[in-house]
Amino acid sequence: MIHRLIEISLRNRLLMIVLALILMGSGYYTYTRLPVDAFPDVSPNLVQIFTLTEGLAPEEIEKFVTYPVEAAMTGLPGVEKIRSISNFGLSVVNVYFEDKMDIYFARQLVGERLQEAREQIPEGFGEPMMGPISTGMGLVLFYYLEDTTGEYSLEELRTIQDWLVKFHLQTVPGVTEVLGIGGFEKQFQVVIHPEELIRFGVTLSEVVDRIRDNNLSVGAQFIEKNSEEFVVRSVGLATSMDDLRSIVIKTDDGRPLFLNDVADIQLGGAVRRGIQTRNGVGEVVSGMVIKLFGTNSSTVIAGVEARLEEINRILPPGVRVVPYYEQKSLVEAAVRTVTSALVQGIVLVTLVLLVFMGGFRPSLVVAVAIPFSVLFAFLLMGYFRISANLMSLGGLAIAIGMMVDGTIVIVENIDRMLREAGPRESRLVVVTRACHEVGRPILFAISIIIIVFLPLFTLQGVEGKTFRPLAYTVAFAMFGSLIFALMLAPMLGHMVMRPPKTGGKEAWIVRALLKPYRPVVTFFVHHRWVAVGLAAVLLLAGALVFPRLGSEFTPKLREGTIVVRLTMAPSISLEESKRTTLIVERRLRRISEVREVVTRIGRGEVGAHSDPINSAEIYVLLKPKEEWREAGSQEEIEDVIREELGNVPGVLVNLTQPIEMTVDELLEGVRAELAIKLFGDDLDVLRREADNVASVIRRIRGAADVQVDQVSGAPQLLVRIDRGAIARYGINVSDVQEVVRAAVGGVVAGEIFEGIRRFDILVRYEPEARNTADAIRHVLINAPGHVKVPLDELASVEEIIGPRQITREDNQRFITIQCNVVDRDIGSFVEEAQAAIGEEAALPPGYLVKWGGQFRLQQEANKRLTVVVPATLLVIFLLLFSSFQSLQNSLLILLNIPLALVGGIAALWITGQNLSVPASVGFIALFGIALENGMVLVMYLNQLLREGVPVDEASVRGALLRMRPVLMTATTTALGLIPLLVAQGTGSEVQRPLATVVVGGLFTSTLLTLLVIPAVYKWFAHAPAQEKSTRTA
Amino acid sequence: MNEFTKMILAFPALALLLSTPAWGEGEPGHVDEGDGHDEHEAVQLTDAELEEFGIEVIPAKAGTIEQYVSLPGEVRPNADRLAHIVPRYSGIVTEVLANIGDHVKRGQALAVIESDESLAPFEMKTMIGGTVIAKHIALGETVSREKDAFIIADLSAVWIELTVYQRDLDRVRVGQKAKIFVGHRLEEESGIVDYITPVVDEVTRTATARVVLRNREGRWRPGMFVTGKVLVDKIDVPLVVPRTALHSVEEQTVVFIETDEGFMPRQVETGRMGDTNVEILSGLSAGTRYVSSGGFTIKAELGKESFGEGHGH
């Protein structure tokens, strides 16, 4: 088959060139259309449902809002799990779908069921709605409004944001949502004086009704007049504060009682659960742009920036929109890191080719393999919808050296054959023969490289999403290189390459290397045990170094923007939260590298964040790197920040990064190894039992960092109605509740329109009448017979500590006990813990324990790998076997793997890096290359043997002859990775361990391929008798 | 075949790499709070931080506790200085001499009435000086002795009738000081509770406490709603702290005291609770320096370990 393929391509040369050009052209076209991201998007496939119910406590939110939504979502196809958080005033239900589900289909399913949920949620408890069609990487640009005149109030600025900036930004293609935060949302406030209500004998609900009754417009069809139609409009909307003031509440004796008589009408800011501060000075108004799922970050941001310029022109003088964070520079930096590595790699590889091949023509043929493979990979990326990002482009950068390997072998063989061929032989025949000889091995070698990457595809979760694009692009590029090597290289070789005029002389570097190599390899072949000893020593060294390596999961990707995350006490008030944040901001401003700090506290418009007000995220914007004092990297500047901040009393400080933070929030997984989830109904029982379980776990050997989720800590003022008391006065519960809700919390009584801008009318008691516990106790309630009763005659008003939030999973409340395990195997720990909990912490009926955490993920990963790794191994072995038809040969080639491993480990150790997922990916790539090298050598040794050369001589001769291709493939691969090894740009920290392992491993593996394999070849070679029979067969 | 086994080992080594449990992101330096419920660590703050966070530290000392009861009420005319004026005889009104709001002197004629019996005109006079607050009489009308023609009130002093609910009945006493508030930017005034009704009203189940207020300028108009804060108790106690000094930590009431090691929570037993001050019965001794305001920061610092839940570390 391979022979036919080669022949076809050699026969239809023009067609092949045209096809190749078309392929490359469309590859380039796809590349220009590829969505570009900074990193692979690791956010889970989920649909978020937000329900905003101002003023409702977590318990009520859970009961009236979260539960109906959750219940409606169960049983949808493809749902993995449902998790919910009921916070003060906000319910968030996360519906996690399987990764393969189409997000639009998932949203459609959720949307249908949401209708059911709406019917279940009581009137006035909020409308559930889906979050933006986006992912954790969707927050592409943040901005704030700068007011240079100082004349605009926070309300005015917020109105500009909500009705001008947001309005114009929302129409930029690729923007799915613009959310505002900070300042005050303008509101028409009706501030009720309760004593006036009593004096005039009106109730709060009457006031609310009157406002509603006096604020509406209607349409009344049309009238005909002289054959013309006149549409009838009756306009009765209140448009100003004066309209509101003159609403008549009631008329006594012909004397109207105006709203103005019982209340003050004023403009004010709505109640808010989030603010935005800047530079330790004060509040600003701000907004964030969320891009649509699957769109190209760079183009969306460019579009937004262009629109911002237009918006700045139409804003009132003195007001300006200032973006303070955008993902574009990150995307550009990440792409720049890999593309520059790519370009440098190509240059280096071409140089190596020139040096080793000793001729321009063959080098040209090989070099063309790189653009062809890369463009071919782009084509497939477009087809499989893989975005261009750090990892996928990184895969190409890794593969650069490997892309040329197949072609090198072909070209090298053609080169050699042409040199040896007689002058009368047709070039076409020579080239065909050369290609036939190596076609099959190339197919096998490249297949093996692709197959070694198989285990990577089984990685799950974040690691899977991070590294799978890399595995894909490597596979694509290798596939491309295979096509090139088998179908284009022979043809190009025929067209370009010429037999050397000077006869078969090797390039000078090859000759220089062969001189010392010859005696060494001869020595090893004659003293095989020395070679075995050398290999054993190296393996031993590797085994010794291995345990010394530190380990980490994945090195942190540096996003280039630092976020200081503050977590304050759960009971904190917004004012105190702001005060504390401003103090921290001022401390940050003392750092000379810091240009500006902008902070979000709590949440703004619903859709992106659900943080409570005790959480603040400070974006630290740095001056250009040239102006930094001493710090040279993001890590160093983080250290400076930590040092300068010191311990902030009452505040937990974490340094993180924008994307990392958002993704973490969406994943909401437990980071500890072991998570014991206790499910049940009663929060108090849950907490008690969780403490119990925790104390049992603490006593078990190996337990460390045992922590129980803090679920309570939010003080509440609980109004508990005394049914006996209200019965005595003849009052209904609802009478009391209505007054409490409207008087203390406020009630929206319609909207005021200013053009299309609409603002709420909020009716609420004056602050003095509601803002202390005592004042609330004294709120008067109407009883029959013109009796006024203060609230605390009818109800107990007490201060309690309530839950700060209620989390649910699978329709049940739960609490998590986290734990790490040290110095012992986690499986036995879990067993012992389960037994101990069964004995000592008997749970009440209806309560159950589930075991999870990272250990479960690892167990699953292990289970998968115990199948996948042997399977991969088997496939490789079969490939080798079918290629060599020899068990011994195949084993000899596999021998390369441990030898390669040693170098990788040593390289990690020397450079002080840890074992990590990217390092493992490096090992995987390394195995493929090592196998390939082994194949090249063993194949030739076999050939010599077949020609009847004695084993010892064949070993030496084969090694000498094959040194060039082995060294070439190894050097090109290693040099192709050097740029990644030394890169300092964004994202280089993830690629570096990978490159380190491959380069280090290639060093030992090549050394040993060239020294040990020829030495031990004898033991693995076919017996001549067998050889004969195979040949005749 | 020795090499073969090694090679077999190589792939599990890879499997090991991919699944090393030590990859869990446990922070080695993580502090385990354990069950250190009683053993609170001291919170150390520099003077600069005290200033930055607005934390005030003062020595504990004696003080007074003022306890108020807040009651709704209304302004009423002084019933002791109120006159209902009726004609001596029934008859026809021939002349009306006074109008609502007029100030009248004692003995001043308010109207002239022609008696039905004698057909003679006579003057209807007020027996007190004051303000005409009601007038039910018009020219030509027949008036009778059964119906008030005028109500004259002496508004130089008014009664503030405060509604006393059952739970406050045993605390509100005659002779206690009361501050009366009207709101609407009107000034408050002080008075004394001089009377409490001996029975509670059958409908409202409330008693009424009366405060007499002087009303020279006529600011207190009968009918106004007011709020009265009655000082029901004023005690000198050996140790008080402001209410802002109290915090609840793990369901216990504490005050943060200053020690050599730093600020520590000290559980206290509180006694009577005043408007601004709270009596301390035990747990704190006079002269101990404690945090009078801004203690929230210290409370938060103490509880810090526990709030990192939910979001990633």
- List pLDDT tens digits, range A160-186: 999 999 999 999 999 999 999 988 989
> Could you read off the pLDDT of B128-141 as tens digits, one per residue?
888 898 888 888 88
B269, B242, B238, B278: which is closest to B57 by C-alpha? B242
Q: Is A898 on the interface with B (CB under 8 A)?
A: yes
Pick from A255-269, A859-873, B139-153: least confident = A859-873
pLDDT at residue number A70: 92
The answer to whether A569 contacts B308, with C-beta atoms less than 8 Å apart, is no
In this predicted structure, the answer to whether residue B26 has a pLDDT above a threshold of 70 is no
Which of B239, B279, B237, B270 lies closest to B252, judged by CA? Answer: B270
- The residue among A596 and A969 whose pLDDT is bigger is A596
User: Between the ranges A115-129, A192-206, A459-473, A538-552, where is the mean pLDDT highest?
Assistant: A115-129
Interval B10-33 mean pLDDT: 40
Closest CA to A484 of A365, A378, A399: A365
Task: Please state, in angstroms and rounded to a whole number, the distance separating the CA atoms of residues A452 and A922.
Answer: 11
- Rounded to the nearest integer, the mean pLDDT of chain A is 84
Quickly count: other Cβ atoms within 10 Å of residue A289's Cβ.
30
Q: Which of A728, A732, A715 is nearest to A773 (CA)?
A: A715
- In the predicted model, what is the mean pLDDT of residues A194-214? 85
Cβ-defined contact of B307 to A195 (cutoff 8 Å): no
The per-residue pLDDT for B306 is: 64
Evaluate if residue A116 carries a pLDDT over 50: yes
Question: Does the pLDDT of residue B311 top 50, yes or no?
Answer: no
Q: Which of chain A's residues have a Cβ under 8 Å away from the Cβ of B303? A: 569, 713
Please report the pLDDT score of residue A505 as a whole number.
60
- Which residue in B1, B3, B71 has the most chain A C-beta atoms within 10 A of its own C-beta, making it the best mutation to test that interface? B3
Contact A650 B203 (CB under 8 A): no
On chain B, the residues whose CB falls within 8 A of the CB of A921 are none
Asked which of A496-500, A906-910, B57-61 is least confident by mean pLDDT, the reply is A496-500
Instruction: Over range A313-321, report the average pLDDT.
Output: 91
- Where does the pLDDT of residue B19 fall: very low under 50, low under 70, confident under 90, or very high at 90 and above? very low
According to DSSP, the residues that pair with B124 across neighbouring strands are B111
> Are residues A395 and A477 in contact, defined by beta-carbon separation less than 8 angstroms?
yes
Q: Which of A31-40, A382-391, B26-35, B187-196 has the lowest mean pLDDT?
A: B26-35
Residues 6+ apart with CB under 8 A from A842: none
Residue A378 has a pLDDT of 93
Kindly tell me if the per-residue pLDDT of A379 is higher than 90.
yes
Touching check for B308 and chain A: CB below 8 Å?
yes
Integer Cα distance of A850 and A858 in angstroms:
16
Q: What is the structure's pLDDT at A1022?
A: 63
Beta strand pairing status for A175-181 and A562-567?
unpaired
Residue B16 has what pLDDT?
Answer: 42
The whole-model pTM stands at 0.80
Give the per-residue pLDDT at A1004: 86
Kindly state the percentage of chain B with pLDDT values over 70.
Answer: 83
Q: Kindly state the helix (H) or strand (E) to which residue A543 belongs, with its residue range.
A: helix A528-545
Least confident residue range of A718-722, A945-949, B129-133, B232-236: A945-949
- Mean pLDDT over A336-345 rounds to 83
Instruction: State percent of chain A over pLDDT 70.
Output: 96
**pLDDT of A569 higher than 70:** yes
Tell me the pLDDT band of A306, cut-offs 50, 70 and 90: very high
pLDDT score, position A173: 92
- Tell me whether A869 touches chain B (CB under 8 Å): yes
Q: Which residues contact B134 (CB under 8 A, 6 or more apart)?
A: B100, B148, B150, B151
Query: A-chain residues within 8 Å CB-CB of B26?
Result: 671-673, 704-705, 820
pLDDT at B34: 38
Average pLDDT over residues A606-618: 84
CB contact under 8 A, A580 and B7: no
Q: Averaging pLDDT over each range in A938-952, A975-989, B221-235, which range is the top one?
A: B221-235
- As a whole number, mean pLDDT of residues A932-937 equals 80
Give the separation between CA B286 and CA B63, rounded to whole angstroms.
11
What is the number of other CB atoms lying within 10 angstroms of the CB of residue A4? 8
Q: Which residue has the higher pLDDT, A592 or A763?
A: A763
A881-892 mean pLDDT: 83
Say if CB A926 and CB A997 are below 8 A apart: yes
Q: In angstroms, what separates the C-alpha of A568 from chain B's closest C-alpha?
A: 7
Q: pLDDT tens-digit profile of A494-514?
A: 888 776 655 556 677 778 888
Cβ atoms of residues A490 and A366 within 8 Å: no
Q: Residue A1009: what pLDDT?
A: 82
The tens digit of pLDDT for each residue in A8-17 reads 888 888 888 8
ipTM, two decimals = 0.72
A-chain residues near B53 (CB < 8 A):
580, 583, 649-650
Decide if pLDDT at B4 tops 50. Answer: no
Query: Is B35 in the A-facing interface, judged by CB distances under 8 Å?
Result: yes
| Interchain proximity B311–A785, CB inside 8 Å | no
Mean pLDDT score, B15-24: 40
User: Which of the residue ranges A210-214, A752-756, A1027-1031, B39-43 has the most confident prediction, judged by mean pLDDT?
Assistant: A210-214
Least Cα separation, residue A873 to chain B (angstroms): 8
Among the residue ranges A61-65, A260-264, A647-651, A935-939, the one predicted with the least confidence is: A935-939
Query: What integer pLDDT is reported at residue A554 of this predicted model?
Result: 65
Sign of CA dihedral A544, A548, A551, A557: negative
Q: For the residues A81-85, what does the mean pLDDT come to?
A: 89
Are residues B313 and A654, on separate chains, in Cβ contact within 8 Å? yes
The pLDDT, as a whole number, for residue B35 is 39
Nearest to A324 by CA among A551, A680, A563, A505: A563
Q: Is B276 on the interface with A (CB under 8 A)?
A: no
